[in-house]
């Protein structure tokens, strides 16, 4: 996964709690400044569900909220730690201090 990868972004915003598709995209827009395209968003949700990293809750109206599974939390934390190490090394090489 990469920092701007749709699946990583979805996992990141779901770390705060269950959300439905539209709310996930709104949270991603707040995080990155732009919304994911519908094809990317629901493609990412489908793949994350297939991998067992998210699970759906009961349908509420037209929307179906999803939440992280325990395995999803583990994978997200591992990926973010890896990105953190890479970012820290890159900033160190640039002579910049981490924010």
Instruction: Check residue 90 for interaction with other proteins (CB under 8 A).
Output: no
Looking only at residues 8 through 67 of this chain, which bind other proteins when binding is defined by CB under 8 A? 20-22, 25, 35, 37-43, 45-47, 49-53, 62-64
Structure tokens at 86: 């890479």
Question: Rounded to whole angstroms, how far apart are CA atoms 7 and 87?
Answer: 19
DSSP 64: -
| CA 8 distance to own-chain centroid | 4
CB of 18 to other proteins, least distance (A): 14
**Which C-beta is closer to other proteins: that of 5 or that of 84?**
5
Whether 24 contacts 32, CB under 8 Å: no
Site map 65..84 versus other proteins, x via CB under 8 A = ------x-------------
β-bridge partners, 76:
none
**Which C-beta is closer to other proteins: that of 41 or that of 68?**
41
């Amino acid at each position: 996964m990469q920092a701007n990868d749709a699946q990583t972004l979805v996992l990141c915003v779901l770390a705060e709690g269950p959300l439905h598709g539209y709310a996930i995209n709104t949270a991603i827009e707040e995080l990155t400044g732009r919304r994911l395209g519908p094809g990317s968003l629901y493609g990412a949700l489908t793949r994350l569900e297939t991998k067992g990293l998210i699970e759906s809750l009961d349908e509420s109206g037209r929307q179906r909220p999803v939440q992280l599974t325990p395995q999803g939390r583990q994978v997200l934390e591992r990926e973010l730690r890896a990105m953190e190490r890479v970012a820290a090394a890159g900033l160190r090489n640039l002579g910049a201090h981490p924010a």
